[in-house]
Amino acid sequence: MKVTYTIALADIKAAQRLAARQTLGSRISSVLLNIVVPIGAVLGLVLGPFLHLTDRSPQFLLIAIAGFELFLIYLSIAVPISRFSQIRKSFKRLYPPNRTDRTFSIDIDDERILSAMPGFAEAKFFWTAIVAFVQDDKVTMLYTSKTNFLMFPTSALSRDQRLELSQLAARNIARKEK
């Protein structure tokens, strides 16, 4: 099966979200950084003035609470900016200035996976190099290691190709595990 596609910024974002849902550790990290820390920062800002500490409160306690609140505020701002910056960098790396053709292709069969940027680069992977296959409605990912993957939009596949790819992955990844 050969598929030709282009990658949009939304596809990179979808791949990052799908990758973040793959392990328990990344799920917990995502919830902490995206939900708990911003809520803690807002609560600290809102409730801080109402939680008056007495004049007898040790100075180091006041400094520690203020420092912790500043740290939460910093994380609440820095994490989304960093994520946005990293996704934009990943997207820009896909399309270097001297590359005029924005299409990619991936050719998958029982023996190997050939990923190509026509006229620019290509990579060949045998199924023994693929450690996992993950797919949702937006993006399809073939992991070559715990953190590296080949990705392409699921919308580039027809219903039959999607089924064929799932069967190929199940057959070849299961064969490797035996």
Least confident range from 23-27, 77-81, 139-143, 172-176: namely: 172-176
Q: What is the pLDDT of residue 55?
A: 58
CA distances, 106 to each of 1, 2, 16, 147, 151 (Å): 8, 6, 20, 20, 10
Calculate helix-pair angle for 24-31, 9-20, nearest 10 degrees: 110
pLDDT at 101: 80
Which among 94, 121, 138 is the end of a domain? Answer: 94
128 and 57 in a single domain? The answer is: no
pLDDT digits (tens, 9 = 90+) for 42-88: 888 887 766 665 556 666 667 777 788 899 999 999 999 999 999 99
Same domain, 111 and 156: yes
First to last CA, the chain: 25
- Residue 18: give the domain boundaries: 10-94
In a shared domain, residues 49 and 73: yes
Domain final residue pick, 94, 128, 144: 94
Q: Are residues 123 and 74 in the same domain?
A: no
Measure the CA–CA gap between 127 and 152, rounded to whole angstroms.
17
Nearest to 21 by CA among 118, 163, 134: 134
Does the pTM of the predicted model rise above 0.95?
no
Residue 106 in this model has a pLDDT that exceeds 90? yes
Q: What are phi and psi of 21, to 5 degrees?
A: -95, 5
d(CA 147, CA 152): 16
Q: Total domain count for the chain?
A: 2
Domain shared by 27 and 58, yes or no: yes
